[in-house]
Structure 1
Amino acid sequence: MKKKIIYFLIAAVCLSGCTADYLDKKPSKSLVVPTSMVHLQALLDGVSNSMNTAPGIQVLATDEFYHPESNLANIPFLDRNSYTWAKDIFEGNGVRDWEYPYKQIFNANIVLEGLSKISRDASNEKDWDQLQASALFYRANALFNLAQVFAAPYDQPTASALPGIPVRLSMDVNETVGRGTLQQTYERIIGDLIDAEKKLPAQVSYINRPSQPAVTALLARIYLSMRQYDKATEMASRCLELHSKMLDYNTLTPSAARPLPAPFSGENAEIIFYSTLQSYSTIVNSALSGVDSVLFKTYHADDLRRSCFFVARANGLFGYKGSYVNAVTLFGGLTTSEVYLIRAEGYARQNKTDLALADLNTVLAKRFKTGKLVAANATAESILDLVLLERRKELFARGLRWSDLRRLNKEPEHAITIKRTFAASELTLPANDSRYVFPIPDDEIRSSGIEQNPR
């Protein structure tokens, strides 16, 4: 891991257009730190160099996609092992879902250390503050994404007793960092975001850069995963005060191979922060795979998501084409629709049925054919289930289903068991099973000696 980080730093410096004249002369390339704010910003702007990616391996383990048993033996071992919840998923190999977030953390720490060498004064304080806040956002986002895959789901009574993930606050690759507790991991994540919010702008010119709405949207997502629904509702409201635009699906061409507009075209005002998921196309985009047929049938005929998200295949299955990346790659960023649904769930749990319905209908009005929407209605007893269903339908293949399963399994009325068939046997993933936490990659265990997750 240390070698990979060092190599990544050298590559990142080269790709950012840096030259030797501005670099500190150090005896080790692992200690080279850019001292120009332009070059520090370039490190964070590395969209194609992993800064705007998130783990995607968890998508394979959910109930969103299904792959025929007859072909499982022919797909890459990592895809198959994740799909079947195998005990040894990585088989001794490294994995991008672990490595890339730590590259993001490493870059963020480079920026923070670089800023410490640049005097903050009246001539640069706005840019200095924004750069610092951006680094804190990227670090927090990476830590949260790692925690959703490689640490136990957050539960207040046990968070101080369970291991978290290694929280690196320095670019020193030789520093030994343990896992700490889950509580400490989340405290760092939230603390970084709270510090970042006040220094970021309300609007940004490029959706790959953090903003105040991105911070509050991410905090809403985090508090939802922690089942702290009042705080999730509060953060969602703060986000929507700054960014409430929605994409009207009536402006799209549902029959197109990729109906959603390209993310950097400026045509999708719904994107608050751009991020993609690590690609596992063998199952997610295979012609042999299909989306959950039970869920597909819940989309109304006049719901444009039915035709914008899915495509019928010759084998009778339905594939997925609705990524906000406008490509095979899955989208994992933050959007207005997600924030509305977070707030709707919060309102539903607070017995504010009318407010929950208002948010739900705001989303649906942009998803149904013009004039065809029959406004959603529900009682106080049924509103939560309705919101959770619409959340599944709206946020399909965003990498969020795994987190939702983990938190909702804590509620007996929403807990489920996922089933697969493999090698003529039925495999099950019961609620709250230890396999809802992925193992730490083997090479990281060997190099750091940190505690492995039970499997």
Structure 2
Amino acid sequence: MRKLQRYSLLLILCPACLLLTACGKMGLEDNPSTNNYVPVTFDDFMALLQDNQTMNHTSAMGDISADNIYLLYTFWATLPVGQKNAYIWASDIFESQTEVEDWKVPYNQVLNANVVLDGLNQIGVTEVNNRKWHEIRGMALFFRAHAFYQLAQLFAPCYDTMPGIQQFGIPLRLVVSKDIVPRSTLKQTYDRILTDLQEAASLLGPFTDQRINLPSQPAAYGLLSRVHLSMGNYEQGLLYADKCLQTDSTLINYDTLHVNTNNVFKGRNPEILFHSEFYSSAAAIKGIVATGAIVDSMLYTSYDSNDLRKKAFFLANTSGAINLKYGYGGTIYQFSGIATDEIRLIRAECHARLGHVAQALYDLNSLVRHRWKAAAYTPIEESDPQKLLMLILDHRRKELPFRGLRWTDLRRLNKEGRNQTLVRKLNGNSYSLEPGNNRYTLPIPNDIIGMTGMWQNPR
């Protein structure tokens, strides 16, 4: 009965949502028509925020473009055009595609969030609705910030604090309106993300494992720590990672898991604070079924034989090549949400970068101890902050592959001088992506450029 009621409500809300395409261009001039039913109650707002197919999915384009997999040519040739071009860092990723999912879905999330925020403003706060009103506002702000951040990792350059640099960010739609929104500056983009998340964290309640698809205060703290890390704000990254882990620091002991099975994380993964996963269309990196997507050999061989992540994450296919298993969230669609293992590594990295060796070492060992065969584990020892940082970054790559984080890591680490050039070999052709190359920022879809006249990213 509950499912039927929810579908009925979504059908009522559908006319408002369909204007996403009728008004036409993916979040830039969308407006639920006043001639159609507009969400007006708390239940309506929650139905929008609990639309998991919209609100809990992210693009896989960064992971397809990163260095954790290589694709067999016969498999690559079957992929959608955007994924094919992202893999070889083509100048024109989307070609003549319209309504590009990687742009459209995050702006659909923004629209849902803005419908809720505008609706809450119409209702207003009373003594009776005060708690519910603020909780729903916190959720909507979190979802909007999460969508803006995901967009910025693809369609805006890496954050840069150098004075005098004025780079474009993304369009920041903050209300429901038909007006075309221009691109904001990069600073304005990140300022808005942080502002939304800080308010969300002040409004949201504790995490409950019955609502992993909805935001909570720990998830907001976790996302704040992720955003600050990507910006190079290590003091703030440490602050929010610590706030997150003070509320929930759960880590799974991998020695208790059945790591030889194909779905190691089947069921509720207690490390997850907020669940999202890659779009179902991300054929290039679907666990277990994407046999033409081969895990990079340098990544695979970097795992120690006593490191249980090697068996938990990967398997050999019938030809002996290494593929992905089911994801960290227990499905073939790779997990892209927020979890305590990532936040533990953020805190470790921030400690190391700030010279807090003992604290960084504690966090690193806390994680590794839970990933190692118990009988073989010995604590890591390192007193040099830079060497310890390198160890943490090495474990970050091994802990978080195919989680929607590697592309951002490549961007930020190359900016600080890691100088890693990516190379592809495909059907006799060779492709490369040098550090700082403009192709680390995806082009905005051509139909969006044609409709709005906004500045295109240089490629």
1:54 deviates by 1.3
1:289 touches 1:317 (CA, 8 Å); kept in 2? no
CA RMSD of aligned residues (A): 2.1
The yes-or-no answer on 1:452 pairing with 2:427 is no
The yes-or-no answer on 1:335 pairing with 2:336 is no
2 CA distance for matches of 1:241 and 1:222? Answer: 19
Deviates more, 1:30-39 or 1:113-122: 30-39
The yes-or-no answer on 1:410 pairing with 2:411 is no
The yes-or-no answer on 1:16 pairing with 2:17 is no
Code of the residue aligned with 1:235 in structure 2: it is Y
2 CA distance for matches of 1:164 and 1:260? Answer: 36
The yes-or-no answer on 1:429 pairing with 2:423 is no
Residue 127 of structure 1 aligns with which residue? 132
For 1:168, which of 169, 173, 177 is the aligned residue? 173
SS of corresponding position for 1:426: strand
1:56 touches 1:280 (CA, 8 Å); kept in 2? no
1 CA distance for matches of 2:252 and 2:412? Answer: 28
The yes-or-no answer on 1:357 pairing with 2:357 is no
TM-score normalized with structure 2 length? 0.90
CA distance 1:27–1:220, shift in 2 (3 Å): closer
Residue 28 of structure 2 aligns with which residue? none
SS of corresponding position for 1:388: helix
CA distance 1:132–1:31, shift in 2 (3 Å): farther
Residue 23 of structure 1 aligns with which residue? none
Residue 294 of structure 1 aligns with which residue? 298
1:325 deviates by 2.4
The yes-or-no answer on 1:441 pairing with 2:445 is yes
Gaps of 5+ in 2: 1-5, 15-30
Q: 1:180-238 deviations in whole A, cap 9, x for unaligned?
A: 20000111110111111111102234011111111110010001111111111111011
CA distance 1:19–1:238, shift in 2 (3 Å): closer
1:76 deviates by 3.0
1:53 touches 1:275 (CA, 8 Å); kept in 2? yes
Residue 24 of structure 2 aligns with which residue? none
2 CA distance for matches of 1:315 and 1:281? Answer: 23
1:113 deviates by 0.9
2 CA distance for matches of 1:393 and 1:121? Answer: 49
For 1:255, which of 233, 257, 260 is the aligned residue? 260
Which stretches of structure 1, 4 residues or longer, exceed 6 Å deviation after superposition? none
1 CA distance for matches of 2:260 and 2:420? Answer: 34
The yes-or-no answer on 1:112 pairing with 2:106 is no
2 CA distance for matches of 1:426 and 1:310? Answer: 27
The yes-or-no answer on 1:63 pairing with 2:67 is yes
Gaps of 5+ in 1: 1-11, 21-25
1:309 touches 1:321 (CA, 8 Å); kept in 2? yes
5 Å-filtered alignment, 1:218-367, equals 218-262=223-267, 267-279=268-280, 281-285=282-286, 286-367=290-371
The yes-or-no answer on 1:80 pairing with 2:84 is yes
SS of corresponding position for 1:311: strand
2 CA distance for matches of 1:324 and 1:27? Answer: 36
CA distance 1:384–1:16, shift in 2 (3 Å): same
1:127 deviates by 0.5
1:79 touches 1:280 (CA, 8 Å); kept in 2? no
1:154 touches 1:225 (CA, 8 Å); kept in 2? yes
Deviates more, 1:132-141 or 1:90-99: 90-99
1:151 touches 1:182 (CA, 8 Å); kept in 2? yes
TM-score normalized with structure 1 length? 0.91
SS of corresponding position for 2:171: coil
CA distance 1:421–1:371, shift in 2 (3 Å): same
| Fraction of identical pairs, as percent | 38
2 CA distance for matches of 1:137 and 1:162? Answer: 24
1:422 deviates by 3.1
Residue 18 of structure 2 aligns with which residue? none
2 CA distance for matches of 1:124 and 1:357? Answer: 46
1 CA distance for matches of 2:37 and 2:164? Answer: 37
1 CA distance for matches of 2:51 and 2:344? Answer: 29
The yes-or-no answer on 1:213 pairing with 2:218 is yes
CA distance 1:30–1:275, shift in 2 (3 Å): farther
Code of the residue aligned with 2:46 in structure 1: it is Q
Q: 1:51-100 deviations in whole A, cap 9, x for unaligned?
A: 01112111110001111245533433222111000111111113211101
CA distance 1:160–1:179, shift in 2 (3 Å): farther
Q: 1:316-373 deviations in whole A, cap 9, x for unaligned?
A: 3110115122121011000000000001001111121221111011111211122321
1:27 deviates by 10
1:176 touches 1:448 (CA, 8 Å); kept in 2? yes
